[in-house]
Amino acid sequence: MTIWNAILLGLVQGIAEFLPISSSGHLSVLQNLFHMSTTEDGHMFFDVLLHFGTLVSICIVYWSDITAMVRETIQFFRNAGRPAAERQTRLPAARLVLMILIATLPLILILPIKDRVEQLYYHTFAIGMFFVITGFILFVSDKMPAGKRTEKTMRVKDALVIGLCQCVATIPGISRSGSTITAGMATGLNRDFAVKFSFMMSIPAVLGAMLLNLIDAIKTGVDASLLPAYLIGTVVSTVTGVFAIKLVKRITSKGKFGNFAYYCWGVGALTIILSLIF
């Protein structure tokens, strides 16, 4: 793992994690077609750090929302004597925490088939097809009428639908942000809130992935000589992650989220062609 390799992987992780273009799909293509060293090649600790970098990106952009969620959740339990419905109405950030937890629950469905999903990372042709599917998901997003629901009016079934889409997005080539933001808009969420909910609901998912990979990293061991490269890659993933989140927010608010479809179609077609050649 060279410093330049770490920088490139940090760029891919930071940008593709939040742009609706599938970071897992891009990393798999880099490994399968170009034999580039990735976090799967004995660099599990680097994978933990890259996820930590993207987690920091979310915290930087949504810091005020996160602090409000913590503060209002504490208030919610302090006011336990009042009806739950009344407390949720008065404390929208606490209600957002509940919706995020509900949206995270469907990830449990992936655990029994986790090994089968991971096998897809080595099938480049299939990844190319999933890129194309992501393109179609993004293309229809801009065709949807603008919604009005926010954390105050979002329904439990909305959170579950978005959570199920997050499950599907564990497939490489299917964008997590693309599918969950589109699902949010389809359920009637306000466009800006759909983006915020998608990124905020990734926090428990990222923490879970970090924990699982950290356990594997401890078992595998960490090469101390690679720590400088790892740390540089982590900083790159954080900085580019902040940029990517702000870019998605701006593009979505202008109703141009579907423009990413053309990129996904192009990458998907190129991936399919290269998989047939090599």
For the chain, give the secondary structure using H, E and C: CCHHHHHHHHHHHHHHCCCCCCHHHHHHHHHHHHCCCCCCCCCHHHHHHHHHHHHHHHHHHCHHHHHHHHHHHHHHHHCCCCCHHHHHHHCHHHHHHHHHHHHHHHHHHHHHHHHHHHHHHHCHHHHHHHHHHHHHHHHHHCCCCCCCECCCCCCHHHHHHHHHHHHHCCCCCCCHHHHHHHHHHHCCECHHHHHHHHHHCHHHHHHHHHHHHHHHHHHHCCCHHHHHHHHHHHHHHHHHHHHHHHHHHHHHHCCCHHHHHHHHHHHHHHHHHHHHHC
% of the chain beyond a pLDDT of 70: 93
Pair of tokens at residue 35: 């034999």
Tell me the sheet residues that pair with 189. Answer: 149
Segment 25-34, tens digit of pLDDT: 988 888 788 7
How large is the average pLDDT for residues 251-256?
A: 89
pLDDT confidence bin for 42, thresholds 50/70/90: low
pLDDT confidence bin for 217, thresholds 50/70/90: confident
More confident residue, 76 or 273: 273
Average pLDDT over all residues of the chain: 88
For residue 41, the model assigns a pLDDT of 52
What is the b/e burial string over 155-164, where b = at least 16 CB atoms within 10 angstroms of the residue's CB? Answer: eeebbbbbbb
3-state secondary structure 42-96: CCHHHHHHHHHHHHHHHHHHCHHHHHHHHHHHHHHHHCCCCCHHHHHHHCHHHHH
For residue 130, the model assigns a pLDDT of 97
Q: Is the pLDDT of residue 221 over 90?
A: no
How large is the average pLDDT for residues 59-85?
A: 86
Of 95, 54, 44, 70, the closest CA to residue 197 belongs to 95
Query: With a threshold of 0.85, does the pTM exceed it?
Result: yes
Q: How far is CA 151 from the centre of its chain?
A: 19
Q: Rounded distance, CA 198 to CA 210, Å? A: 18
Domain extents in the chain: 3-277
